[in-house]
Structure 1
Amino acid sequence: MDLDDELIELRRQIHRHPELAGEERQTAGLVAEQMRAAGLEVTTGVGGHGVLAVLDGSADGPTVVYRADMDAVDAERNVLFIPRSDRVFDDGFASRVPGVAHLCGHDLHTAIGVGVAKTLARSSGPVPGRVVFVFQPAEEPLKGARAMLDTGLVQKLRPRESYALHCAPFPSGTIVVSPGHGLPGLDEIRIVLPAGDAAAVAAEVAELGTVEFPRSVADYHARFHSVLEQHVPESVSVGQWTERTSDGQPVVTIMLRVWPQERLPELRVRIERIAARAGGHVEFAGEPFPALVNSAELSTAAGQYLSATTGPESVLWARASWPYNCEDFALFLKEAPGAQFYLGVADAESGMNGAPHTRDFAADERAIGYGVRAMAGLLTHRLTAQGTSTSLPGV
Structure 2
Amino acid sequence: MPSYKQILLTGVLACALLAQPTVGHAQLVKWQAQLDQLATKVEPKVIQWRRDLHQNPELGNLEVKTAEKIANHLKSLGLEVKTGVARTGVVGILKGGKPGPVVALRADMDALPVTENNSHNLPFASKVTTTFEGQQVGVMHACGHDAHVAMLMGAAEVLSAMRKDLKGTVKFIFQPAEEGSPAGVVGGAKLMVQEDVLNSPKVDAIFGLHIRSDVEVGTITYRPLGMMASSDNFKITVKGQQAHGGTPWMSVDPIVTSAHIVTALQTIVSRQLDVTNAPAIVTVGAINGGVRANIVPGQVEMIGTIRALDTQMQKQIHERLKQTATSIATGAGATAEVEIQEMTPVTYNHEALTAHMLPSLQRVAGVNAVKLTKPVTIAEDFAYFQEKVPGLYLFLGGMPKGQDPATAPSHHTPDFFIDESGMKLGVKTLATLAVEYLNNPLK
Describe how 1:1-395 pairs up with structure 2 within 5 A: 2-58=41-97, 60-75=99-114, 88-98=119-129, 99-123=138-162, 125-141=164-180, 143-168=187-212, 169-195=214-240, 196-197=254-255, 198-209=258-269, 233-239=277-283, 240-243=285-288, 249-276=299-326, 277-278=328-329, 279-287=334-342, 289-318=344-373, 320-323=374-377, 325-347=378-400, 349=402, 353=408, 355-386=410-441, 393-394=442-443
Structure 1 length as normaliser, TM-score? 0.83
Q: Distance in 1 between matches of 2:276 and 2:260?
A: 29
Q: Contact (CA 8 Å) 2:318, 2:340: kept in 1 or not?
A: no
Q: Contact (CA 8 Å) 2:226, 2:310: kept in 1 or not?
A: no
Q: Distance in 2 between matches of 1:271 and 1:183?
A: 21
Q: Distance in 1 between matches of 2:436 and 2:276?
A: 31
Which whole-Å deviations, capped at 9, do the CAs of 1:66-101 have from their partners, x for residues lacking one? 11000011116xx9xxxxxx9843333211213111
Q: Distance in 1 between matches of 2:114 and 2:298?
A: 31
Name whichever of 110-119 and 355-364 sits farther off: 355-364
Q: Distance in 2 between matches of 1:90 and 1:343?
A: 24
Q: Contact (CA 8 Å) 1:193, 1:250: kept in 2 or not?
A: yes
Gaps of 5+ in 1: 80-85, 211-230, 387-392
C-alpha displacement of 1:151: 1.4
Q: Contact (CA 8 Å) 1:354, 1:364: kept in 2 or not?
A: no
C-alpha displacement of 1:110: 0.5
Which whole-Å deviations, capped at 9, do the CAs of 1:30-49 have from their partners, x for residues lacking one? 11111111111100000110
C-alpha displacement of 1:194: 1.1
Q: Distance in 2 between matches of 1:62 and 1:245?
A: 60
4+ runs deviating over 6 angstroms: 245-248
Q: Contact (CA 8 Å) 1:57, 1:130: kept in 2 or not?
A: yes
Q: Contact (CA 8 Å) 1:184, 1:261: kept in 2 or not?
A: no
Q: Distance in 2 between matches of 1:164 and 1:250?
A: 42
Compared CA separation, residues 245 and 111, structure 1 to 2 (3 A): farther
Q: Contact (CA 8 Å) 2:226, 2:309: kept in 1 or not?
A: no
Q: Contact (CA 8 Å) 1:353, 1:363: kept in 2 or not?
A: no
Which whole-Å deviations, capped at 9, do the CAs of 1:113-134 have from their partners, x for residues lacking one? 1011000001274211100000
Q: Distance in 2 between matches of 1:29 and 1:309?
A: 31
C-alpha displacement of 1:292: 1.1
Compared CA separation, residues 124 and 157, structure 1 to 2 (3 A): closer
1:329 corresponds to which letter in structure 2? F
Q: Contact (CA 8 Å) 1:36, 1:42: kept in 2 or not?
A: yes
Q: Distance in 1 between matches of 2:121 and 2:269?
A: 36
Q: Distance in 1 between matches of 2:409 and 2:90?
A: 27
C-alpha displacement of 1:141: 1.3
Count, aligned residues: 358
C-alpha displacement of 1:179: 1.9
Q: Contact (CA 8 Å) 2:67, 2:89: kept in 1 or not?
A: yes
Rg: which structure is higher?
Answer: 2
Q: SS of 1:186's equivalent?
A: strand
Q: Contact (CA 8 Å) 2:94, 2:160: kept in 1 or not?
A: yes
Q: Distance in 2 between matches of 1:17 and 1:350?
A: 28
Q: SS of 2:396's equivalent?
A: strand
C-alpha displacement of 1:287: 4.4
1:170 corresponds to which letter in structure 2? V
For 2:35, the equivalent position in structure 1 comes to none
Gaps of 5+ in 2: 1-39, 130-137, 182-186, 241-253, 292-296
1:263 corresponds to which letter in structure 2? M
Q: Distance in 2 between matches of 1:126 and 1:41?
A: 18
Compared CA separation, residues 208 and 75, structure 1 to 2 (3 A): farther
2:305 corresponds to which letter in structure 1? M
C-alpha displacement of 1:335: 1.8
1:34 corresponds to which letter in structure 2? H
C-alpha displacement of 1:314: 1.9
Q: Contact (CA 8 Å) 1:347, 1:354: kept in 2 or not?
A: no
1:174 corresponds to which letter in structure 2? T
Q: Distance in 2 between matches of 1:282 and 1:72?
A: 35
Aligned residues with identical type, % of pairs:
28
Structure with the higher fraction of residues in helix conformation: 2
Q: Distance in 1 between matches of 2:202 and 2:307?
A: 31
Which whole-Å deviations, capped at 9, do the CAs of 1:218-271 have from their partners, x for residues lacking one? xxxxxxxxxxxxx96321223322235999732111210112121123222322
Q: Contact (CA 8 Å) 2:95, 2:163: kept in 1 or not?
A: no
Q: Contact (CA 8 Å) 2:230, 2:345: kept in 1 or not?
A: yes
